[in-house]
Structures are given as C-alpha cells and as structure tokens.
Amino acid sequence: MSQFYRNQPPEQPPHEPEPPRSYKPEDYLGTSQPERPMRHLYDILIAQLPPWLPRDLLLIGALITAGTAGSLCLLGFCLLITFSESLIPRPSTPTLAVVATVTPIFVTATPEASPVPFYDTSRIGSFLNPFIDANLEGMQVLVIEVLDPVTGSYVRSAPISANTLEMQQFITAFNIAQAIVAPDLTCPDHVRFLIARADGSFISIGACLKGVVILRGAALPNLGGNDLPMGPYFTDILTPYLPSTYQALLQR
C-alpha cells in the first residue's frame, strides 16, 4: 500500500488566480485613512475664545488695539495728575523765627460796663395783680421748678393740671394785688413757675424766697423789672412743694 502511494506523482499546489491587470494593493488591503491635518497656534487660540466673541481676526485685532490704547491713555492721565500735584507750589508756613521778628502791637481795650438791670422806679409803690398782668385766665398747666444750690440747676415737680384743687389754689394765690417794691439784687430766683396759658403760649415767672414769695420777671410786663412780694396765702400754698432749706427762708 505504501508502495502505491510512493509511486504516485506529487500533488501540484493549488492554482492561484492571477490578479487583474488593473491590480492595486489598496483594493485588497483596504483604503488608507486620510492624514489628520496639523493644528496651528491660531486654531488653538480661536478654540479657547468664548462663544460670544467673533472669530474674525481683523475684528479681534481691532479690539485688542483699542483696549491697549485705552489702558495707555488712563496710565498717562494718572501720571499727569501725579506730576501736576508735585509741580504746584504749596503755601509756605512761616517759621518760628519769622514770627518772632514781627513787632507786636498791643491795643488796650476799654472794658465794657456791666449791664445794669433795668427797673422802672416810677412803678414802685403801685399795686399790681399778677394774675391779670400775666394773662393767666384759663391756664392749663403749672410746673414748679426749685433751684438746687449745689448743681445750680432747677428740679421740676409734677405738673399741676387745670380743673384740680391745686390749680384752683394757685389761681387764687396769683389773683391778689400787691404793692411793687424795688428789686432785691442779692436774692436769686429760688423758684420758677412755668405756666401754659389758655392760648397755648408758655411763660416763666421767677420767685425769690425771703420771708415771703417775691414774684419777678418779664412775664409781668407792668412790673417794670421790680419785685412783687406776695401775701401769706401764697406762702402757705407754695410751702409744701419746697425742701426744708427753702421752707426756712419763708419763716417770718
């Protein structure tokens, strides 16, 4: 059997078809991929720009040029202001030596005379009703202020309203005519009466405490700058509103 196969002619290799005359390797190996174009620096910069910015090269150059020119103008303006301030001469301050060379001129001023309190002596001895003279008819509020001798300020009491017993007592006390006397300049205003009148206006009447209650002030126009000592009824009505030191001034 082996001798049979040994005497057989060798087998021919399989026949390969000849390629066509228009044979190209690309037809069998496939088409080659197109080469990727190289990216330039311009394309990279354009890709980094925001979408709202135009891609026109000339327009971008114009914007850059305008921004640069504006920055240079601003810088030049700042430098101009700086150099202008340095060139403006500042006012010179006279030194101590220059001031010392000025010859002083002494002017002796005539001392002004102390104002003399005005009071009308012709009214002394006449009678005056403070309730009528100060127009206290229908007064709405009365506030008593007492002088603090330590601080020099006045301390207010609670206001006395209209249509009360206390207000009626003060109306009666003010509505008594008394004789006008010369002003006592050594007696301060220990008490002040702040009064709201019926027409809405406010007045202040001072009072010196020296044995009796002595009314004074510009709120009494016909008093003429003098003093008006009130009677014992006024003292009795005012005493409860005074401290003990001032009550002692009214003891007769």
Residue pLDDT, tens place only, 58-76 = 666 777 787 787 778 777 7
d(CA 78, CA 75): 5
Share of the chain above pLDDT 90, in %: 48
- Structural domain boundaries, residue 155: 122-250
Is residue 213 domain-resident? yes
pLDDT digits over 29-54, tens only?
A: 555 555 555 556 656 666 666 666 66
Instruction: Quote the number of domains for the chain.
Output: 2
Indicate whether 132 pLDDT > 70: yes
In this structure, the answer to whether residues 243 and 133 fall within a common structural domain is yes
Nearest CA among 132, 154, 123 for reference residue 224: 123
In this structure, the answer to whether residues 79 and 132 fall within a common structural domain is no
C-alpha triplet 215, 201, 128: angle, nearest 5°: 30
pLDDT (mean) for 8-33: 57
In this structure, the answer to whether residues 169 and 227 fall within a common structural domain is yes
Cα dist. 236→9, 247, 251 in Å? 170, 10, 11
Residue with tokens 């850059």: 64
Indicate whether 244 pLDDT > 80: yes
Is residue 233 domain-resident? yes
In this structure, the answer to whether residues 128 and 241 fall within a common structural domain is yes
Is residue 29 domain-resident? no
pLDDT digits over 150-163, tens only?
A: 888 999 988 999 99
In this structure, the answer to whether residues 145 and 213 fall within a common structural domain is yes
The answer, as to whether pTM is greater than 0.85, is no
pLDDT given for residue 183 in this prediction = 94
In this structure, the answer to whether residues 146 and 233 fall within a common structural domain is yes
Is residue 89 domain-resident? no
Tokens representing 110 are 């005539």
d(CA 246, CA 210): 9
pLDDT given for residue 149 in this prediction = 87
In this structure, the answer to whether residues 70 and 188 fall within a common structural domain is no
In this structure, the answer to whether residues 171 and 62 fall within a common structural domain is no
